[in-house]
Chains A and B, each alone.
Chain A
């Protein structure tokens, strides 16, 4: 009697599955799929000049307008340059910190915590503290002048603004990514390192020929995850430079928000967002293709 046919059982199981995952799936649709769908549709629409506030199909018009505008090419250039500046600094910096703080030294745990400290500061906090420290009359310029060096413009100079934002981002992020790499370093079997040392490998050789290859997975994770994060940096740009000076820090993320809110051009903003998502996806795919394991 208690024997049920597999079909019924499968139906009941699917019911249980859907009942428990239901809230998560509903949220997925509401907060992820709905905006994705909206942006995809809106990017191919325009405001109907004859109807009141209704939209009509515009084909590739929004995208064509983007890619024929010099301003948008500047935004794309700034975005790529920003990722190229910030992402490698973060990966190399966090790898250096992870390596350093897995050596034997006094108070190692304390210094690890210290390096992680900036990760506990919300992005707006980082923006405020570095905004004050790096302003033209700020502490850092005072230090430079005390050392007899010329004061720098930092984020108020066209040439230095983007690198400054990248450095603020890196300072706030390296300690966080370091944690993942420390975990990866501790997973490397001692015997492997001892064998390398027995063979007379120098510390440099040991690091680049043994440690880095064995750290490939966590390194790839840190590279991909922090690239995704860097593409979406918003707070320091909006608060400190507002995209300037003369567009020097206007990244795609920042410009998309500005098009949607300041210029209230939803359709154009959505087209920009689609470009941002495609660029992000392509970058991540390229990272996987170049550095992922080939089996």
Chain B
């Protein structure tokens, strides 16, 4: 075999391996989408394995049944909690990041490590003892209870501090000479120049709230205020027959962040091309 032929054979093998590995992830997701739109009666009659991957019928029955059961309200609660987490979390972490950048003392460095490290530590485990702490403060059962624990995010603080560090000091000093205080420099200089980091941190905050399951399950006891994940779980048992509805609900849960991601990605590209700063 010549060296060229061997190289071509290797590339061919790699491509096959790449496609096969990709299918491991693509096929189940495809199946999820197809099953969510399948007509419930067809699902019962089909016996062939291939039928499960080929859409032969199309129905919104799963979605309709989910909506009738009040799923939209749960999605609304999840969206409101996620929006609050993004806005509040960005405010808290960008203020903290500015503090760490504007004041560079030993105390500032120590606080930075403490804040990032403790917000990176696992929160799931702490959610059990947080329940009695929150109920003693009267914070159970509402949006604030869902939002507050997600606001502190070590990754967001870290990202924003990195972005603020790359803001030219001369610009900050020039503004300082013009009599701009810390708040004005923060608002008019540091925030506008850090849009990519803000969007990235916003997405991290969104996902952290959107993915959460245990904390909403523990803290929300009123059935009207449950999040989407908790609502799905309360109707789903592994042997339940409402597969269409559960899949439709999961699909909504997956599609919303994907749409937001596409939207923000376009904004992200637009903002970095107009500001001239990468």
Q: Tell whether A104 is near chain B: CB-to-CB under 8 Å.
A: yes
- In the complex, chain B residues whose CB is within 8 Å of the CB of A95: none
Question: Do residues A101 and B254 form an inter-chain contact, with CB atoms below 8 A?
Answer: no
Q: Tell whether B263 is near chain A: CB-to-CB under 8 Å.
A: no
Q: A132-B243, A257-B214 are in contact. Are A38 and B129 (CB under 8 A)?
A: yes
Q: A21-B99, A28-B118, A123-B213 are in contact. Are A253 and B124 (CB under 8 A)?
A: yes
Q: B-facing mask of A117-133, CB < 8 A → 1, else 0?
A: 11011111101111111
Question: Do residues B250 and A25 form an inter-chain contact, with CB atoms below 8 A?
Answer: no
**Count of A-B contacts with CB under 8 A?**
228
From B96, B186, B237, B253, give the contact of A24 (CB < 8 A).
B96
State A171–B24 Cα separation when bound (angstroms). Answer: 9
- In the complex, chain B residues whose CB is within 8 Å of the CB of A17: 99-100, 102-103, 105, 107-108, 111
State A34–B211 Cα separation when bound (angstroms). Answer: 24
Q: Tell whether A13 is near chain B: CB-to-CB under 8 Å.
A: yes
Chain A, 18-44, CB within 8 A of any chain B CB: 18-25, 27-28, 30-36, 38-39, 42
State A39–B125 Cα separation when bound (angstroms). Answer: 11
From A13, A23, A42, A105, give the contact of B14 (CB < 8 A).
A105
Q: Tell whether A188 is near chain B: CB-to-CB under 8 Å.
A: no
State A19–B92 Cα separation when bound (angstroms). Answer: 11
Interface bin, chain A: 35 or more
Q: Tell whether A139 is near chain B: CB-to-CB under 8 Å.
A: yes
State A131–B250 Cα separation when bound (angstroms). Answer: 12
State A155–B238 Cα separation when bound (angstroms). Answer: 10
Q: Closest CB of chain A to B126's CB: distance in Å?
A: 5
Main secondary structure of the interface of B (DSSP, over half): helix
Q: Tell whether A217 is near chain B: CB-to-CB under 8 Å.
A: no
State A122–B229 Cα separation when bound (angstroms). Answer: 8
Q: Tell whether B151 is near chain A: CB-to-CB under 8 Å.
A: yes
Q: Tell whether B19 is near chain A: CB-to-CB under 8 Å.
A: yes
Q: Tell whether B22 is near chain A: CB-to-CB under 8 Å.
A: yes
Question: Do residues B238 and A100 form an inter-chain contact, with CB atoms below 8 A?
Answer: no
Question: Do residues B98 and A20 form an inter-chain contact, with CB atoms below 8 A?
Answer: yes
Question: Do residues B152 and A235 form an inter-chain contact, with CB atoms below 8 A?
Answer: no
Q: Tell whether B72 is near chain A: CB-to-CB under 8 Å.
A: no
Q: Which of B28-36, B171-179, B192-200 contacts A (4 or more CB under 8 A)?
A: B28-36
Chain B, 98-117, CB within 8 A of any chain A CB: 98-100, 102-103, 105, 107-108, 111, 114-115
Chain B residue at smallest Cβ distance from A10: B105
Q: A20-B98, A104-B11, A122-B210 are in contact. Are A273 and B128 (CB under 8 A)?
A: yes
Q: B-facing mask of A96-115, CB < 8 A → 1, else 0?
A: 11001101111010110011
State A240–B236 Cα separation when bound (angstroms). Answer: 9
State A90–B122 Cα separation when bound (angstroms). Answer: 19
For B14, B32, B218, the residue with the greatest tally of chain A CB atoms inside 10 Å of its CB is B32
Question: Do residues A24 and B115 form an inter-chain contact, with CB atoms below 8 A?
Answer: yes
State A30–B107 Cα separation when bound (angstroms). Answer: 21
Q: A31-B152, A128-B246, A253-B124 are in contact. Are A135 and B211 (CB under 8 A)?
A: no
Q: A31-B126, A31-B151 are in contact. List 14 more A-B contacts (CB 8 A).
A: A24-B152, A31-B148, A32-B121, A34-B130, A35-B128, A100-B14, A105-B18, A111-B22, A121-B250, A122-B229, A123-B229, A125-B253, A128-B247, A235-B214
Query: 13 interchain pairs (CB within 8 A)?
Result: A19-B99, A20-B102, A24-B92, A24-B93, A32-B119, A34-B133, A35-B128, A100-B14, A120-B258, A129-B247, A131-B238, A132-B246, A238-B233
